[in-house]
Chain A
Amino acid sequence: MTDDEITYADAMAELEAIVAGLDDADVDVDLLAARVARAAELITVCRERIARTRLEVERIVAELDEP
């Protein structure tokens, strides 16, 4: 599944799991970098989704207001 196809809920769940794992004292540094990179991707995906949804909401509500 690419990030374009992933649902927001799945993205958020994966992100939260990664962040929880970052607090683990025994995290492998090489792995840590990879995880941070993945978290950053997921954050970008979620932010895009949120921004897109906000636009969509505004557009729909504006259409409702039209006569």
Chain B
Amino acid sequence: MAQAALFEPEQTLGVGELVARVTRAVAAAFPAEVWVRGEVHGLKQPNASGHVYFELCERNNRRGPTSTLNVALFRLEHQRVLKALREYPDFRLADGLEVRVRGRIQFAYGRVSLVMSAIDPVHTLGRLAADRQRVLRALADDGLLDANRAVALPLLPLRIGLVTSHGSAAFEDAVQELTASGIGFQVRVADARVQGAGADLSMVRALTALRTQDCDVVLLVRGGGSRTDLVAFDSERLARAIATMPVPVLTGVGHEIDSCVVDEVAHASYKTPTACAAAVVERVRTTTARTEAAWARAAHVATDRLRRADQRLDAVAARVSPTVVRSAERALDEHARHVRRAALVALDRQHARTDLLAARTTAADPARLFARGWSITHTADGRLVRFPADAPPGTELVTTLESGLVRSEVLPDD
């Protein structure tokens, strides 16, 4: 009866039985607890019952699908785990961490999950340390470890870029330190997430935003946390962003023991946000003090030089002026004597000339000749008689004496 066979019901399982079978199969496949390695995601705070849930993920390849396993950490196990972790203060369970956990695999509520009972913090810390070393080597290979240290810190870093979680304790500490200094800092805050998945990318974006804001220095700060809280500060892309910033980046990431990768690439690193801000305050104070001291020295030196120059001038003047004046006086005396001498010589010459003319005048004066008995004889018609030929016989003569005239006539020659 082929027809009947067609309708013969195949074996059909009820949901309850199927689930029970899968549950048994899973339990049989994983009879004991297993260690599982993966990255923490979706970590939630303990719920009202004290249970903690998260997922362990593993990306199968760069772009491929991600395998996910739900993890339940019940209250009692949670307390045991926390107790065990007290020996590892650097460790705290957080998103993004790669962890190695132990637990029982169970199929419950329609899915496979891991009921966690223990965690291996050494695995995570070792992995973080190894990652840190790898990142540092990569940065060193690219010559980025000292790149930001080579950027000079301005003498007066007054325009400050502040990368941190806005409103956090770290933010308040840094701003408080800057404000309390009384120095007129201008603070540009670039808000960023500083913990959890994507925190490093958030800080890279904040740094990028500050590139165009004319900062003198950038402070990257975060409050205290465990090693695993600070995993973002070991990020290679954050380290590269810091190394290539055009201004100095100072870090103040709260941690006690070893340093983060960002501390290695930063211009300088400080233990706390407060210490980081204090370093900037100190820089400004030192510069101000040095400037004032230099100014005071310059003023002192200038005053001193002026005083000494004044004294030297006085000394030179005292030595020079009598000499100069004396020599000028001597020259003037000489000129005066010369003028006098020349004038007197000229006058003497004129005097002699006048005397000579006077003598000649006197010599020509006819009155003197008449007084001594000389006379002058003219003919009656007025011609001067100097030679016998001037007065032939019969000529009438008029002779002028000192006083009066004598008339006469020339007698014939015998």
Contact = CB atoms under 8 A, between A and B. Distances in A.
A51 B256 CA distance: 117
Contact of A43 (B332, B337, B344, B354): B354
A2 B332 CA distance: 39
Judged by DSSP, the binding face of B is helix
A33 B365 CA distance: 6
Given A29-B366, A54-B347, A57-B340, A46 B360 contact: no
A61 interface: yes
B367 interface: yes
Contacts of B344: 54, 57
A56 to B, nearest CB: 9
A43 B361 CA distance: 9
A61 B354 contact: no
Interface string B329-358: 000110011011001100100110110011
Interface residues of A, number: 27
A50 B350 contact: yes
B376 interface: yes
A50 B350 CA distance: 7
B257 interface: no
Interface of A: 8, 12, 15-16, 18-19, 22-23, 26, 29, 32-33, 35-36, 39-40, 43, 46-47, 50, 53-54, 57-58, 61, 64-65
13 contacts: A12-B350, A26-B384, A33-B365, A36-B366, A39-B357, A39-B361, A43-B354, A43-B357, A47-B351, A54-B347, A58-B340, A64-B332, A65-B333
Given A50-B350, A53-B347, 4 more contacts: A22-B364, A29-B400, A36-B366, A57-B339
